[in-house]
Amino acid sequence: MFKNVFGSGFLVRTAHVILTWVITLILFLHDTDLRKQEETGELTLPVLFVLLVLVSVLLYFAVSLMDPGFVLSDECDLQFTLGIAEETQDMIPQTTKSIRLRRCGHCLVQQPMRSKHCQTCQHCVRRYDHHCPWIENCVGERNHRWFVLYLAVQLVVLLWGLYMAWSGFSHAPTWQLWLRTNGVLLGAAAVVAVLSLTVLLLLGSHLYLVSLNTTTWEFMSRHRISYLKHCGVDENPFDRGTLRNLWGFFCVWEPVVWEHVYFKQGNNPI
């Protein structure tokens, strides 16, 4: 399920963790509401903040180390994929759409629909969304919902941290003295503000695409994807309505045979 912790993304993950806890430490060392409540013995808010930061770090590692849905090369996975495809093809009516299972030219496995080979991970990934350099891992069928959850928790942490940083700025008679007093906190607040905007945009875009049941790869490269070339400009063969799309993404954990959805022969996961 998890890849080697000391793989190629070790430095990225280490930098993420260090930055997270350094900013948290800065918020506690300056005269913010967190420190004030800690000094007065009111530990509820500081403890909740630290726990939320810890949850965000754990989610980060879970998403970055989790198997995103690699297409296995073992015989069982190949038989499952081909068996489903053959059964699906027997039920497919004659339409302008065409289905063609491709064998990946890199890892030599049969690619299910909506999968793509990642040049960085050197694997084909089911329901491939994108390769994220932030987590040094692909976002795919198995970890996409966890990635969205991580973004949501991270956004709450960042906005809360930004508010706490604002509460810690102290007054000074001159700008030079103010910068000398609040320079470190100002730098931390600037980093948190940039990260907040980034995470907000990422979370919003992913929720929008999830509501349409499409992926970042399909949205950006629609004209180059074989199973979407025959569809109209506004046609999405995987769209089952906003509520069903959201329900299927967040609440249905079983793998979905996207060939069934594509040809409208059956939308139930197997």
- Domain map (residue ranges) of the chain: 14-65+142-257
Residues annotated catalytic, as ranges:
132
Residue 210 is inside which H or E element, if any? helix 175-212
pLDDT at 74: 45
Token pair 């930004």 in the structure block, residue: 162
Residue 145 is inside which H or E element, if any? helix 144-167
Higher pLDDT, 81 or 242: 242
pLDDT at 169: 92
Instruction: Evaluate if residue 57 carries a pLDDT over 90.
Output: yes
| Per-residue model confidence as pLDDT tens digits over 134-143 | 999 999 999 9
pLDDT at 185: 95
3-state secondary structure of 188: helix
DSSP label of 112? P
Instruction: Evaluate if residue 129 carries a pLDDT over 70.
Output: yes
C-alpha distances out from residue 138 to 53, 58, 145, 219, Å: 23, 17, 13, 16
| Per-residue model confidence as pLDDT tens digits over 136-162 | 999 999 999 999 999 999 999 999 999
Q: Model pTM?
A: 0.85
Asked if 138 contacts 121 with a C-beta cutoff of 8 angstroms, the reply is yes
Alpha carbons 59 and 65: distance in angstroms, whole number: 10
